[in-house]
Amino acid sequence: MLAAITTTVLAATEGGAEAAEEGGSFLVEPGVGLMVWTLLIFGVSMLLLYKLAFPAIAAALDKRQKMIEDSITSAETTKAEANQLLEEYRERLKEARAQADDIVARAHKAGEEEKRAATEDGREKGAEIIAQARKEIEVETRKAIQDIRKEVANLTVAATEKVTRKSLTEEDQRRLVEEALGELDFSALSGERA
**H/E segment holding residue 15:** helix 2-21
Residues 6+ apart with CB under 8 A from 134: 118, 122
Query: Is 37 part of any domain?
Result: no
Q: Letter for the amino acid at 99? A: Q
- How far apart are the C-alpha atoms of 162 and 110, rounded to whole Å? 29
pTM of the model: 0.32
Q: What is the extent of the structural domain holding 126?
A: 73-190
User: Do 170 and 163 meet the contact criterion of CB atoms below 8 Å apart?
Assistant: no
Domain count, the chain: 1
Q: What does the pLDDT profile of the chain (194 residues) look like in tens digits?
A: 545 555 655 555 554 455 445 555 656 677 788 889 889 999 999 999 999 989 999 999 999 999 999 999 999 999 999 999 999 989 998 998 998 898 989 888 988 888 888 787 767 777 777 788 788 888 888 888 888 777 777 777 677 666 675 666 778 777 777 777 777 665 655 555 54
Q: Is residue 33 part of a domain?
A: no
In a domain, 128, yes or no: yes
